[in-house]
Amino acid sequence: MGLTDKVTGRLKKAAGDLMGSESVRREGREEERKGEAKDELRRDTARAEQEQAKAEARKEEAQREADKVAEEEDQRAAQQEDKAKRRAEKVENLERRT
């Protein structure tokens, strides 16, 4: 967790200051940076997951819309087929009469 690394880093920096040890102080700075990087990673991961969820929702909505349009087209095609059959029957009846 980033918070633990940041706190540990600050403690090491303080200890380095008290001891006059640049290497301990440097180690503390690096520990803090690691904590900050972990926090940034967590935030970036959360944002990526949110964006993925939004994309999935948009994809599902687009699929519902596409299904709706396809159903409407199927209905229009069925109506045209019925109309063509009625015309064919009408022509057939006319052919029989003449």
Q: What is the mean pLDDT of each run of 10 residues along the chain (98 residues)?
A: 84 90 93 93 97 98 98 98 96 90
Supply 42's token pair: 């967590």
- CA 69 – CA 92 distance, rounded (Å): 34
pLDDT number for residue 1: 65
- 29 phi/psi in degrees, rounded to 5: -60, -40
pLDDT number for residue 9: 85
- Number of separate domains in the chain: 1
pLDDT number for residue 97: 87
Indicate the pTM of the whole model.
0.59
Q: Which domain holds residue 35?
A: 2-97
- CA 32 – CA 11 distance, rounded (Å): 10
